[in-house]
Amino acid sequence: MSELAVLGGEPAVTIERPLWPHIGEPEIRDLHEAIRISQTDVSYLDSMPAGGPIAKLEAHIGEYLGRRHAVTSNSCTAAIQMALYAAGVGVGDEVVVSPYTWPQTVSPILHQLGTPVFADIDPDSFTMRPDAVEAAITERTKAILVVHIYGHPADMDPIVEIGRRHGLPVIEDCAQAMGAFYHGREVGTLGDLACFSFGNGKQIIGGDGGCVVTDDAAMWQRLVEIGSHQRRQERDISDPEVARYMNNLTYTFRMHPMAAVIVNRQLDFLPEWNLARRSNHHRLSDGLSDIPCISPVVELPGAEHCYHKYCPSFVPEEAEGLTREAFVEAIAAEGVQITLGYVRTPIHLRARFQERHYFYGEGMPWALNDRSSELYHEGDCPVAEARCATSELEVMGAAALRGDQSALIDQYLDAFHKVWDQREALIGR
């Protein structure tokens, strides 16, 4: 076996990872056609009334998911804020959410002047545990915001049941999980509202963009109210209590029409692409299973991961003295794009929460909830905290692995085995 690359040897990985994001010829043709139409119909690429490509995409997403209403946005962050508003979240209201996520799942709660309350995660799927959700609910709870982290669906049936029992809407953050399934049902069809991302790197992309879906007509009108131009509001809003505020004092959350063109075409390819992502990452998991210090990605019973990210776990007690840092350094030197993890610090332990310092002045918006001083302590979410501290890993570029990437995966596996087999050379680094 050749010497470790980190010690001067040749790297195990010589095949380049496929480019992602990628815009193919079908998307380019659609973009050209949209520009051609706009030369004689200036309204076609006008985002204000949400016609043209935006209307086509919203109809396509609604049909794809089997949901009655879809409203696009300029990001999933905006989509989550729209969903929170539609769910009635406001000043001092509590929202139960995962501490183990990208921060922009949580920041929209603060934008609505609400209070995030964190529920710990399952150690295998890294999604919120139903029992932790139940324990986090108080008389101030207004909604449950569920994250399908990395593309693995959360355990939705018990969480939805908890929401129904307490009269709380359930919002899905599907930013990383478009095309994942839970007991045969696609994520985005399980909660009262669901939010998606089309940002670069996601399962399908538009450069940026997002979407909220719901079956509830009243919630749909509130989605239109908070982020749309008055021209769309006048068309879509019929509730007089909502319509009385149609004076365009809103957020500008509109999606760019050209982004909608790209997403609309890529949605056709999503099932095929996700099938390949699953196949490639199952091959990776199978090949990693005999390395003691690695716990491959787990799919819980009934779950179909879509592999937006591939984040296995480092097992320190099985590493025979090899540190996670030395392991990652050596694997990276072999040509695998790998990091020490994606979340790294649970949200409740980050500086803005510890110091109660956001964009609205000192202590705000937490000061609007008189029990916020009880929140955000070390030890509140031990599973999430332990994962970030000791075991989190990320093999980069999972969404890029469309098509048959078995040759690349096999080189990745060669790199992992090479490092493990020569681990003694890394002890003490």
Burial class (CB in 10 A: 0-12, 13-18, 19+), 215: middle
397 falls within a domain:
yes
Residues 281 and 189 occupy one common structural domain: no
User: Do both 420 and 328 map to the same domain?
Assistant: yes
Cβ distance 95 to 173 under 8 Å? no
Measured at the CA of 199, the angle between CA 196 and CA 204, to 5 degrees, comes to 70
pLDDT band for position 246 (50/70/90)?
Answer: confident
Is the same domain home to 247 and 313?
no
* Bridge partners, 141 (sequence order): 94
Res. 247 pLDDT band, cuts 50 70 90: confident
- Round to whole Å and give the CA distance between 14 and 286: 21
Measured between alpha carbons, how far is residue 18 from residues 147, 259, 266, 286, 398 in Å?
Answer: 27, 22, 17, 21, 10
Cβ-contact 305, 299 below 8 angstroms: yes
Count: domains in the chain: 2
Q: Which of 234, 266, 298 is the last residue of a domain?
A: 266
- Asked if the structure places residue 375 within a domain, the reply is no
Percent of the chain with pLDDT over 90: 97
Q: Which of 420, 424, 428 is nearest to 315 (CA)?
A: 420
| One domain for residues 11 and 132 | no
**Domain end marker among 266, 285, 319:** 266
The candidate with the shortest Cα–Cα distance to 154, out of 121, 193, 202, is 121
With beta carbons less than 8 A apart as the criterion, state whether 215 and 69 touch.
yes
Mean pLDDT score of the chain: 97
Residue 227 lies in a domain: yes
Average pLDDT over residues 293-297: 99
Q: pLDDT, tens digit, for every residue of 114-167?
A: 999 999 999 999 999 999 999 999 999 999 999 999 999 999 999 999 999 999
Q: Which of 217, 246, 266 is the last residue of a domain?
A: 266
Q: Tens of pLDDT along 81-91?
A: 999 999 999 99
Task: For residue 318, give the CATH number of its domain.
Answer: 3.90.1150.10
Task: State pTM to two decimals.
Answer: 0.97
220 and 330 assigned to the same domain: no
Structure tokens at 45: 């690429």
Q: What is the structure's pLDDT at 397?
A: 93
Chain centre to alpha carbon of residue 255: 18
- Mean pLDDT value of segment 358-379: 95
**Domain annotation covers residue 232:** yes
Q: Give 3-state DSSP helix, strand, coil % of the chain, rounded to 5.
A: 45, 15, 45
- Contact criterion met (CB below 8 Å) for 121 and 127: yes
Cβ–Cβ < 8 Å for 176, 194: no
CB 154 within 8 A of CB 173: no
CA 357, CA 366: separation in Å to the nearest integer? 9
Measured from the Cβ of residue 371, the count of other Cβ atoms closer than 10 Å reads: 13
pLDDT, residue 22, reads: 94
Residue 369 lies in a domain: no
Do 180 and 301 lie in one domain? The reply is: no
Whether residue 160 is found in the same domain as residue 304: no
112 within domain boundaries: yes
Claim to verify: residue 15 and residue 44 sit in the same structural domain = no
Specify whether 231 is located in the same domain as 335: no
Residues forming a β-bridge with 173: 147, 195
Residue 80 is part of which domain span? 25-266
281 domain-assigned: yes
Per-residue model confidence (pLDDT) at position 4: 98
For residue range 172-218, what is the model confidence (pLDDT) as tens digits? 999 999 999 999 999 999 999 999 999 999 999 999 999 999 999 99
Residues 86 and 171 in one domain: yes
Token duo for residue 407 = 């040759």
Q: Are 109 and 189 members of one domain?
A: yes
Q: What is the pLDDT of residue 197?
A: 99
Separation between Cα atoms, residue 211 and residue 228, nearest integer Å: 12
What CATH number is given to the structural domain containing 193?
3.40.640.10
Give me 377's structure tokens: 């302590």
Cα atoms in the Cβ-side hemisphere of radius 13 Å centred on 283: 18
The answer to whether residues 392 and 307 touch, using CB atoms and an 8 Å cutoff, is no
Is 373 inside a domain boundary?
A: no
Confidence of residue 362 (pLDDT cuts 50, 70, 90): confident
Closest by CA to 53, choosing from 21, 80, 31, 28, is 31
How many Cα atoms within 13 Å fall on the side-chain side of residue 79?
30
How far is CA 375 from each of CA 20, 93, 156, rounded to the nearest angstrom? Answer: 39, 14, 25
Q: Is the pLDDT of residue 79 over 80?
A: yes
Domain check: are 304 and 420 in the same one?
Answer: yes
pLDDT at residue 428, as a whole number:
75
